Amino acid sequence: MLKPDVRLEWLVSFLAVVDTGSFGAAAEVTHRSQPRVSMHVGALEREAGVILFDRRKRPVALTEAGAALAEHARTILRELDSAEAAMAARRGSARGVVTLGSYPSASAAFVPALLTELARTSPDVQVVLAEHSTLELDDALMSGRVDVCLRPMAPAPASKSLRCQVLWREPLVVLHPSRHPLAELAEPLTVAQVAEYPLITIGRLRDPEAVGFESYRAFRECGFELEPVQATNQPQTLMALVRANLGVGLTNALAAQISDTGGVSVRRLAGGRVRRVAAYWDASRPLTPAARTLFRQLGSSPLPSGTEPAGEPWAGPDQRVE
């Protein structure tokens, strides 16, 4: 029988092991050392008088007793979140730390104004910014290393538990040195015109998952296969590679907007090719009041210059039944 002095941090560490399948991954997710996570689980097992994990298996597996406790532990933590939300409503604001995942162009063009307004309206909410490439954001969100993330909608996340609310859309653009044969052609440039030259795009070179990005899809829909000579996730690096005449760049408009475009022309791509950007969360885990406050601010913040509204009503986690 569990005693009243069981600590909540023991339950948090226990569920982290359940969700990640290992003590090491649980330590990373909870920002604790692995020995501390092991100590928490061991203390919980001593208080419960049962073994919670079969440690001989990889990933570690719950025992029957562990599975029963996991269900109750989740209920306890959900109730605590609900209690905090109720108190936040009465004191006028939420409090706590929330981690926001983002990628470079959204971080530079959108996040500063978002955080400025959040600091004004909800000073007790502290946002930790964690920047990753698009594909790395999925892992960070599913592992719990970030609570909410800004992410392009292409490629689509692999996990079905990730839900999103569309924020904006922005055009795809072509980058080329100011003195380049493409400079003689009128806008918008067609995919066929751009495909005649070596190309540089976002992502990682020869990464099979990169084919889901918008630029690859734009080429494929026009009967071409995009085979870049170089790729990067950093807008300034992409701009520098183009400036050095190593290839013609393909990227999103915000990436060009936040970069030094000296010596580089930014041109529209024909066909109405766009990137759609959304705020994502993991519906398999409850959002904290601080995370919900951040999400509401995402829905009310001005969109970056050069983007357009997605045309969908805002309906974040507060308005959805998961």
**DSSP secondary structure, 106-118, as one string:** HHHHTHHHHHHHH
DSSP 190: P
Provide the pLDDT confidence category of residue 4 given band limits of 50, 70 and 90.
low
Its pTM stands at 0.72
Average pLDDT, the chain: 89
275: pLDDT strictly greater than 90: yes
Number of domains making up the chain: 3
Range of the domain at 74: 8-89
* pLDDT above 60: residue 12: yes
Percent of the chain with pLDDT over 90: 63
- Kindly state the average pLDDT of the residues 39-51: 92
| pLDDT over threshold 60, residue 92 | no
Nearest alpha carbon to residue 250 among 304, 209, 305, 213: 213
For residue range 276-305, list pLDDT tens digits in order.
999 999 888 778 889 989 999 999 999 999
pLDDT tens profile 55-90: 888 889 999 999 999 999 888 887 877 776 666 655
Question: Residue 42 is encoded by which pair of tokens?
Answer: 């061991």
Residue-level pLDDT at 129: 94
What is the per-residue DSSP string for 277-308? Answer: EEEEEETTSPPPHHHHHHHHHHHHSPPPTT-E
* Whether residue 206 sits in one domain with residue 118: no
- Res 322: pLDDT: 37
- For residue 127, the cross-strand partners are 98
> What average pLDDT does this structure show over 249-265?
97
One domain for residues 151 and 199: no
Residue 1 lies in a domain: no
Q: Are residues 80 and 200 in the same domain?
A: no
Confidence (pLDDT) at 186: 96
Does residue 2 belong to any structural domain of this protein? no
Model confidence at 321, pLDDT cuts 50, 70, 90, reads very low
Name every residue whose Cβ is closer than 8 Å to that of residue 290 and which is 6 or more positions away in sequence: 94, 95, 96, 97, 98, 125, 126, 147
pLDDT for position 320: 43
Residues in the chain: 322
Do residues 270 and 179 share a domain?
yes
**Which of 66, 89, 112 represents a domain boundary (last residue)?**
89
Give pLDDT, residue 208.
Answer: 84
Mean pLDDT of 219-225: 94
